[in-house]
Amino acid sequence: PMKLAYRWITLANRNYFLYLNRALAPYGLNSSQYQFILNLFENPGITQDKLPELICINKSNVARTLAQLEKKGLIRREVNQEDKRTATVFLTERAHKLYPQIMSAIQVWDNAVTEVFSAQDKETLLELMQRLAGRAAELRDATPTALRK
């Protein structure tokens, strides 16, 4: 059998999302919504049209998830004063209070899943995964034909 890195990356990611769905359920969040909270915490007032690229999901999923978060009272949208066609997005006070709990759930998982590595191995893994994620972003729009060259 071929040794595909993505087989293991995908498997680890699926298990992470299963854990995250359970860990975030008490807060009324799921694994597809938490990324918005984290990104909006780091980028308050970002315009809605910038979120698809930042979170790597399509525009319709962004719109749907923002509507869900707005309904839960976790975000608010305002008309962008520089471009009235777009909205700027902010976390509410309620979301700001949830942020530490979300980060704690992520940190607990990260610590537990990487405890099988030495500190040096974990550092190496992080470096390799950052490079891999960067390369994947560069190739995101490539076709299989173009990648075979």
Whole-prediction pTM: 0.85
Amino acid 1: pLDDT:
67
**How far is the C-alpha of 76 from the C-alpha of 90, rounded, in Å?**
5
The fraction of the chain above a pLDDT of 90, given in percent, is 83
DSSP calls for 14-70: HHHHHHHHHHHGGGT--TTTHHHHHHHHHSTTEEGGGHHHHHT--HHHHHHHHHHHH
Look up residue 86 and give its two tokens: 């777009």
Residues 6+ apart with CB under 8 A from 56: 137, 140
Least confident of 12-16, 80-84, 125-129: 80-84
Q: How many CB atoms lie within 10 A of CB 92?
A: 16
Amino acid 149: pLDDT:
82
The fraction of the chain above a pLDDT of 70, given in percent, is 99
Tell me, rounded to whole angstroms, the distance of Cα 64 from its chain centroid: 15
**Range 5-28 average pLDDT:** 95
82 by Cβ neighbours in 10 Å (0-12 / 13-18 / 19+) ranks as exposed
**How far is the C-alpha of 17 from the C-alpha of 34, rounded, in Å?**
11
Confidence of residue 42 (pLDDT cuts 50, 70, 90): very high
Look up residue 62 and give its two tokens: 């962004």
